[in-house]
Amino acid sequence: MFLEELEMLAGAGRVSRQEPMALHTTFQIGGPADYYVTPQKAGEAAGIVRLCQREQMPLTVIGNGSNLLVSDKGVRGVVMALEGSLAFRENRALLPKRASWSFYDFFIKGTQVWAGAGIPLSALAVRTAAAGLSGLEYAGGIPGTLGGGIMMNAGAYGGELADCLKEVLLIRPDGELVLVAAADLKLGYRTSRMQQTGEIVAGAHLQLSEGDAEQALARIREFNARRREKQPLEYPSAGSAFKRPEGYFAGKLIQEAGLSGFRIGDAQISEKHCGFLINRGAATATQVRELIQEVQARVWNQAGVRLEPEIRLLGDW
């Protein structure tokens, strides 16, 4: 009965059982999800939230899995991925019909942008730059979605999403859709109120500035070239593994602790950038977690600094 209702809410072919999460994380690691569902619109997702609440079914929400480490045992309950498709075609603002938002919806009016939570930040950055808007160039190489980026207030090269957010469309834990001003989201360094409340980002309203398309695209190319030079993009990873401690750089602390290249099985600290933990090919979630704990212990012993993971651990540990 639960499966039938889930399929009715999400649409045919958008629910799978025992879905390997290794297929849906940039680490390429993770056991099966009991149910894996990909609703296309905010209203569908809100319905799934209400269903899971009613049935007391655990619900986990992900974007494209770019900062996740999923347990080898997998995830119990429902994993809802806000992937979506580019369904919006009308030349009008999206806000009046919030429940009909597709998670890839994208609309520009002047210097204002409305976008669904499932659009990749890299795509959003390129498309706004190409439209002659400035303010998201730093995001051109960030692997996550807009929704995930807002959840952690993603940023790079001196910019962060808090700089341009005006409003965010949220799905509350009871399934209600609400529009909330960015000032009320408690956005800080890699944090937001949603990490405590369990609210889900469905879309956002951004305010960018006028710019030159060629210059904006050139900045994206420059930032991405710097990423390729300094980051181990040739290996599966979850991006930067640790938050930046105040007054320090995590990668430098890890290097100074003598951990460059250190590995447990196929989980390794990158020699190219010690702030990245990489999957050499067959790493398990258990190995990555042990590596995280070893890094934390050694950096604490060496420098007296506690490193807080930026990677989000999911599943049955």
Catalytic residues: 190, 240, 310
Dist CA 147 CA 211 (whole Å): 24
CB atoms closer than 10 angstroms to residue 138: 21
CA distances from 173 to 45, 47, 116, 170, 256 (A): 11, 11, 19, 9, 43
CA 153, 101, 18, 64 torsion: positive or negative? negative
Dist CA 10 CA 80 (whole Å): 10
E-strand spans in 99-190?
Answer: 106-109, 112-116, 133-134, 155-156, 159-160, 165-171, 177-181
CA 231, chain centre distance (Å) = 18
CA geometry: angle 143, 219, 311, nearest 5 deg: 25
Using alpha carbons, select from 201, 294, 308 the residue that is nearest to residue 246: 308
Q: Which are the contacts of 203, defined by CB distance < 8 A and separation ≥ 6?
A: 42, 94, 98, 101, 103, 105, 114, 115, 116, 117, 146, 147, 168, 169
Using alpha carbons, select from 112, 31, 20, 41 the residue that is nearest to residue 83: 41
What number of residues does the chain have? Answer: 317
Dist CA 78 CA 92 (whole Å): 34
**77, amino acid identity:** G
